[in-house]
Amino acid sequence: MEFFNEQNTSLENGNLFEKHVRQLLVLQGRNVLPEMMIGSKKVDLSFNLSGFNKTEHYAVECKAWKSKLSKEDLSGIVFQYGGLIATNLIDSLLIVTLNGLSPAAMQLVEEHRNIKHITYVDLLNLTIDFSQFIHQQENDFYQSTDGLDQYYIDLRVRENTVTSRNTRDLMSIVEEWIASSDYTPLAILGSYGQGKSSFSRKLAAFLAKAHQSDPVKRIPIYIKLSAISKEQSIEGLLGKIFTASVNVKHYNYFSFNQLNAMGKFVIILDGFDEMKQSLNWEEFKYNFSQLNKLVHGTGKVILLGRPNAFLTDDEHAFVLRGERKSSFGIVRERDWPVYHELELELLNAPQIEKFFQDYYTYRIKVASDTQDASALAHARDYKSRHITDRKIREISNRPVQLKMLADLLPYVTFTAENLTTALLYDEFISMILDREFEKESNFNISKDNRRKFSRLIALFLWENSSEYSIKFEEIPNNIFEQFIPENARDIDKIKRDFISGCFLSRKLGSTIYFPHRSFQEYFVAEEVVIQITSGQDIDIKKIDNLLTVEVSDFVKGLAGLKIVVNLDLAFKNYRGMLSTNLVRIFFKPEYKRIFLQQVLTSYAPWYKIIFVLMHEADPFTAEQIGEFKQFLIRETKKLTDDMAAVCALFLAMHEKINTVETILSHLCEELIIYYNKILKEARKKQIHPVAESVTWITDLLLKTNISTRNNTLDLRALLPLFVKKMEGWCFITEWKDDKTLNSNEYRIVSVLRDVDDEVIGRLRTLKLVYDDFQETRKQKRKGSLN
């Protein structure tokens, strides 16, 4: 709970204040005694202060008054302690106030050498001085160069409970939680561009302002987790933050940890997904174990990030609830906090309309000329009010995209047919490069080169760092070398021109950064599309490693039909695993017929996989699915093909295809014919060798558990064998869960009920024929040895 509020009685206020004053003095190394009688006076606190050849005995008077102490108030206190000082029962009196002294009272303190005074905030700053850090957090929002405080839109979140699924104002929820005695940490989850960092900035500024008005209110500690690029202890992270941009005087981890446990802070951990980018799962877990050290005592911790940082539901459950699967079921990790999860809602129509009004009003106020102000006013009063198309509304329901649309709207006209998220980013970047960075330069850097430079910086950071900022001196020379002419003399000036003329923004000093992470993701996507459409030496695994869900969506929006053509050879040659992020770039309605043709004509197995995933996302027609099922039946005849029949059976088991009974029947029929032919020839001469693929798929099918009750086939024993066989050939990364199939990602029909008697009969016949084949082979081998 908070130290003080209006509902507390004077006694409760005083007791709480006294408690926290004592804790601060203890943190400063004082051996503080609690309330006690000294002489005839009840003293709040007391401690000894050792100096040269002398120990001074201090009494402490704590005053949690809402107003400053007047001269009359202070005179009464001095009178009460005067006798203790006169009789040497104490040497000095320390008065600790919440809101300080009046000028006359301060003068009275100066006249008494045995009377000392300090405010609560000054006492806190003697422990750790957060004053500059607090000012910085307030100014980062209320005095920001982007004017965010003028047009910030309050966000809403979903609270999912057993009985309801309500939406509420996020700030109201957080304020209530801060004021409560609930110390459960919060996890605010939202995908890209939904305003998580803007909310963090506003909350930190709001709390900073409140603390400066009332020093006993919690201090915000806003931490960007993108600063973590490897395994890092919490001690190291905090030390880096508090000694980097702002020097927090007297900082030490022990005192910080104690103050946190005492309820002095609201710790805001922003962007755990940005921490994940360069870490493997074990490193990610370790860093969370360190962050969780902040969750203790009466501390308040808020975690924000994209939920797709968790690759599986199991990762999500472990990080935010400490739950892991074991042979005994779900096990809770000891001492791992359970976060209360809040899911950000997309912006609704009233929020979007309010943003347009507030943003354009701000832009008009700071407009550089009347022509610009007129265009902005027209966008505010007319254009923005006529955005009614659902598609454009959907694109503008994220704050980051809404702001881009607002920046473009005064100068361009969109139609619903040609507006996509990728186009929105493309047009916005072009506008910035055209409007903001067209400056005279002796080296005449083209817009294309400035865009390419931004793209290469994005790719370098994407592959080598979890941050979306970089210092000028850290940019590799090989990036600049692509743009510097051979006869160039003033290379440093060319570099400076590129830095000042690229899309990235600049902070104080030599750091440049992308205004939002989604811009970096867009540039990475643009580079991926360029690499693929060039058609030269396409490394499909390298491209796959560059993709996240967001980058994949941008690639899909940017890519044309040529991307399918150019990836054909790469697909034909690549064997192994690829992620759904790569596959998703083909999820376009216009690609459906093409992919069906590729399935029917290409020997590349990836088209079959992509077809099934496309169907799962956006169903094909019944006629097209019929063609695919007939293709799978034809594949069952390719028994000597290493993987054709295996893949056919596996894809037939997908719940959206669900033709497994038919495929099983055909496979059994083909295998029975195959073995009978060998057995027939074996009676005349030596038994023929059998293709390894044939015996493998036979062994696979015979692991099917047959139950005569309701004619049930249980195929679950086959799943680990599919994974083992297919992961080195053609498989989706997310489908694998350790050594078996992830049924949450690949939804499979693994138990068949009321199976046709003919299918059951063929499975049993296959077993008999296969047993006969093995026995015959055994006898033939024995005979040849004799």
- In the numeric block, the tokens 């004592």 are attached to 22
Higher pLDDT, 51 or 174: 174
pLDDT of residue 299: 95
Which two structure tokens, joined as six digits, stand for 64? Answer: 């949690």
In this predicted structure, the answer to whether residue 38 has a pLDDT above a threshold of 90 is yes
The predicted pLDDT at position 9 comes to 37
Going by pLDDT thresholds of 50, 70 and 90, the confidence category of residue 444 is: low
Average pLDDT over residues 694-711: 90
What are the beta bridge partners of residue 301?
A: 267
Mind spelling out the 3-state secondary structure of 389-440? CHHHHHHCCCHHHHHHHHHHCCCCCCCCCCCCHHHHHHHHHHHHHHHCCCCC
Confidence of residue 284 (pLDDT cuts 50, 70, 90): confident
Q: Which of 459-473, 578-592, 727-741, 748-762 has the lowest mean pLDDT?
A: 459-473
pLDDT at 414 over 60: yes
Does the pLDDT of residue 356 top 80, yes or no?
A: yes
Mean pLDDT of the 293-320 span: 89
333 pLDDT above the threshold of 70? yes
Q: What average pLDDT does range 624-642 have in this prediction? A: 90
Edge-first strand order for the sheet with 165-169 is: 165-169, 156-160, 340-344, 186-189, 300-305, 265-270, 219-224
**pLDDT for the residue numbered 441:** 43
CA 288 to chain centre: 13
One-letter amino acid of 553 = D
Q: Name which of 164-168, 414-418, 548-552 the model is least confident about.
A: 414-418
Section 372-389 average pLDDT: 81
- Residue with the bigger pLDDT between 344 and 495: it is 344
730, pLDDT greater than 70: yes
Q: Of the ranges 102-111, 225-234, 672-681, which one carries the lowest mean pLDDT score?
A: 225-234
Of residues 80 and 284, more confidently modeled: 80
- Where do the DSSP E strands lie in 363-468? none
Tokens describing residue 350 = 């009233």
**DSSP for 72-110, written as a single string:** HHHHHHHHHHHHHHHTTS-SEEEEEESS-B-HHHHHHHH
Task: Average the pLDDT over 732-747 and give the result.
Answer: 89
The burial of 361, by beta-carbon neighbours within 10 Å (0-12 exposed, 13-18 middle, 19 or more buried), is given as: middle
Do 32 and 26 meet the contact criterion of CB atoms below 8 Å apart?
yes
- Residue 427 pLDDT > 50, yes or no? yes
| Cα-only R_g, the chain | 35
- Region 37-41: what's the mean pLDDT? 92
Work out the number of other CB atoms within 10 angstroms of the CB of residue 783: 9
The more confidently predicted of residues 401 and 80 is: 80
pLDDT digits (tens, 9 = 90+) for 562-604: 888 888 888 888 999 999 999 999 898 888 888 889 898 888 8
pLDDT at residue number 310 = 81
The percent of residues in the chain predicted with pLDDT above 90, rounded, is 53
**Does residue 785 have a pLDDT over 70?**
no
Average pLDDT over residues 45-72: 91
Question: Does the pLDDT value for residue 273 go beyond 90?
Answer: no
Strand partners, 505: 513
- The predicted pLDDT at position 4 comes to 43
pLDDT of residue 135: 94
pLDDT-based confidence at residue 232 (cuts at 50, 70, 90): confident
- pLDDT value at residue 10: 47
Residue 560 has pLDDT above 90, yes or no: no
**Mean pLDDT for the stretch of residues 466-476:** 81
Q: Is the pLDDT of residue 125 over 60?
A: yes
Q: Tell me: pLDDT of 124 over 60.
A: yes
Lowest-pLDDT range of 142-146, 229-233, 451-455, 480-484: 229-233
As a whole number, the mean pLDDT across the chain is 87
Average pLDDT over residues 552-569: 86
Residue 488: per-residue pLDDT = 66
- Residue 442, pLDDT > 60, answer no
Percentage of the chain beyond pLDDT 70 is: 91
DSSP-based three-state secondary structure for 786: coil
Q: Which residue has the higher pLDDT, 641 or 351?
A: 351
| 641 burial level (CB within 10 Å; 0-12, 13-18, 19+) | middle
CA atoms within 13 A on the CB side of 497: 20
Highest averaged pLDDT of the listed ranges 173-177, 237-241, 453-457: 173-177
Highest-scoring range by mean pLDDT, 233-242, 508-517, 743-752, 756-765: 756-765
Q: Six-digit token pair at 214? A: 């009332």
Smallest CA-to-CA distance from 523 within 458, 581, 585 is with: 458
| Distance between CA atoms of residues 62 and 119, nearest Å | 10
* Dihedral, CA of residue 22, residue 23, residue 24 and residue 28, to nearest 10: 100
Beta-carbon count within 10 A of 656 CB = 15
Number of Cβ atoms within 10 Å of the Cβ of 47:
19
Higher pLDDT, 469 or 136: 136
Q: Please say if the pLDDT value at position 473 is more than 90.
A: no
**pLDDT score recorded for residue 490:** 66
Phi, then psi, of 555 in degrees rounded to 5 = -60, -45
pLDDT greater at residue 453 or residue 163:
453
Span 352-367, average pLDDT: 93
pLDDT band at 779; cut points 50, 70, 90:
confident
Residue 162 has pLDDT above 50, yes or no: no
At 437 the pLDDT is: 55
In terms of pLDDT, which residue wins out, 415 or 573?
A: 573
The domains found in the chain, sorted by start residue, are: 10-127 (3.40.1350.10), 131-344 (3.40.50), 347-419 (no CATH), 444-559 (no CATH), 564-772 (no CATH)
Contact 185, 320 (CB under 8 A): no
Least confident of 146-155, 193-202, 458-467: 458-467
* Length of the chain, in residues: 786
Residues 6+ apart with CB under 8 A from 576: 541, 727, 728, 729, 730, 731
pLDDT, residue 607, reads 92
Compare 22 and 312 and report the one with higher pLDDT: 22
Q: Give the global pTM.
A: 0.68
Eight-class DSSP state of 33: B
Q: Is the pLDDT of residue 438 over 70?
A: no
Report residue 148's pLDDT band, with 50, 70 and 90 as the boundaries.
very high
Return the pLDDT at 507: 63
The answer, yes or no, to whether residue 8 has pLDDT greater than 50, is no
